[in-house]
Chain A
Amino acid sequence: MGTLIVGASVAGVRTAQALRMMGYADAITLLGEEPHLPYDKPPLSKEMLDEDGAPVPLLTEVELAGLGLDLRLGTRAAGLDTARRQVRTEAGEVLDYGDLVIATGVKPRVLPNSRQLEGVHTLRTHDDAVAVRGAMGLTRHLVVIGGGFIGSEVAAAARRRGLTVEIVEPQQIPMAHLFGPEVAVELAQLHELNDVVVHAGVGVADLLGSDHVTAVRLTDGRALDTDLVVVGIGAVPATDWLEGSGLPVEDGVLCDEGLRVVGAEHVFAAGDVARWPCSFADSPVRIEHWTNANEHGALVAASILGEEAPRAQPPYVWSDQYGHRIQIVGTPRAGRPAVVAGSVADGTLVALFADDEHRTVGAVVLDDARTFMRARRAVGARTPVGQVDLGLAAATDSVTGRAASQTQTTRRNH
């Protein structure tokens, strides 16, 4: 009966690829909600917002054809019956499966109590990106709600196109919940240096306008005039179709270390939607990183085939903003900054995060791929932070310290 994969984005497609690479010869059916051929997600908030931006295919049509999939685009799953091993589609079709992979990802969170107004966008899909890209060509000012990765990248893309940009961020410092204030304040300088105003420590009270948005009213009473708003305030797992299925859904589908859904037979989950005991976290986590979706594809395929799981890699994510690249490995928020060297003004920044036992649990690096890879090794090995050799010439005073200067020459690859 083969494998049915619900979700044709990174995790779903990588699962199909991995199954075939491992010699799986049975039928694979891949359901995609959107009408588009599988495309890559990271470019949506980056180069795809440029005037001439185009979607980046996840694989070539030749590669796709080589997988021999029953690819069903524009097909949304609406229900699951694990006893009968059947998925029901929104169109009423019933699909049998031998093994099922849930890879439906996440959907963007929307502002609570906000009315549907034109000019207000979220960014998650191809069509979202096309809409934002088009809207950027019709206006001169953008308000971004949320100073996270998506919001920051959209702000950078808008600046590239000559728009003026304001960001509204409820925290006192954007990203402080992930990196702590010291590192977050550094990274926030990227906005400042690029003339993006960050309204921090303030929320959104309402969106003004009758059909089309005209302003964003803040909780402190101010109103920011604009006819374009992008909301980037996180995402929630796309699990509504699993309601009544009996699967354990608790902010994601709960899985074991092999991505087998807990308490279910022949049901697996992969990517953003899966909550599982990652070996780099103390309790089950849901990770919305692109690399995680890639790794899950290989892991879930190994589980389906009863093969040995691929070696776990430390969680990794990157963000491209204003021509800079921020690379993050591990879980910085599980620790505190123990080593901070360089600064945005210096051109490179390195921060190592250590837990209470002084083990390296995360790192944030700006524009220094080589140092980043050393930090990644330390995170992978949980190296005591005092023993990490970042290869920086200037000694850093661990625990409290910030290097006086970073004299090592870092070679730029690009």
Chain B
Amino acid sequence: MGVSRTMERRFACATEELAPGTSMTVPGDPDIALFRNEAGDFFATEDNCTHEDWSLGTDSDLDDEEVTCPLHMARFDIRTGKPLCFPATIALKTFEVEVDGDGRVFVLG
């Protein structure tokens, strides 16, 4: 029987700390990858590649809204988590991102 978890609001960074086109890992349970596209919008997915263990927030190639895992070149859409090519066949879970009035970025997971 799983213990139900309440949604946690996790502080990730200040807006200006994550440049467009980059990503970071927000540690927790689970670890969450926070991405920022070229337009400056934030998106969050589970951090671990669904194909094999690898932190996408820490080390990956972000091309606007497409992230590539450096292990086996699996690609995902960071907006939906959907896999875009083999070897990935399972979507990344996505998480809500909140930016408060002070420009602080939170992930809800």
Contacts and interface: CB of A to CB of B under 8 A. Distances in A.
Interface string A154-179: 00000000000000000000000000
Contacts of B103: none
Given A14-B86, A297-B86, A298-B85, A411 B58 contact: yes
Interface in A329-372: 369-370, 372
B85 A369 contact: no
B68 interface: yes
B37 interface: no
B89 A413 contact: no
A377 interface: yes
A295 B85 CA distance: 8
Nearest to A377: B61
Contacts of B55: 413
A316 B89 CA distance: 19
B61 A376 contact: yes
A295 B86 contact: yes
B27 interface: no
Nearest to B56: A413
A373 B72 contact: no
A298 B55 CA distance: 25
A310 interface: yes
A315 to B, nearest CB: 10
Contact of B86 (A294, A318, A372): A294
Q: State which size class the interface on B falls in.
A: 10 to 19
Contacts of B68: 373
B91 interface: no
B85 A310 contact: yes
Interface in B36-73: 54-55, 58-61, 63, 68, 70-73
Contact of A373 (B61, B87, B89): B61
A291 B70 contact: no
Interface in B61-109: 61, 63, 68, 70-73, 85-87, 89
A17 interface: yes
Interface string A370-399: 101110110000000000000000000000
Given A63-B89, A291-B73, A298-B86, 20 more contacts: A14-B86, A17-B89, A290-B72, A291-B72, A294-B85, A294-B86, A294-B87, A295-B85, A313-B85, A316-B73, A318-B71, A318-B72, A327-B70, A369-B71, A370-B70, A373-B59, A373-B60, A373-B68, A376-B61, A413-B59
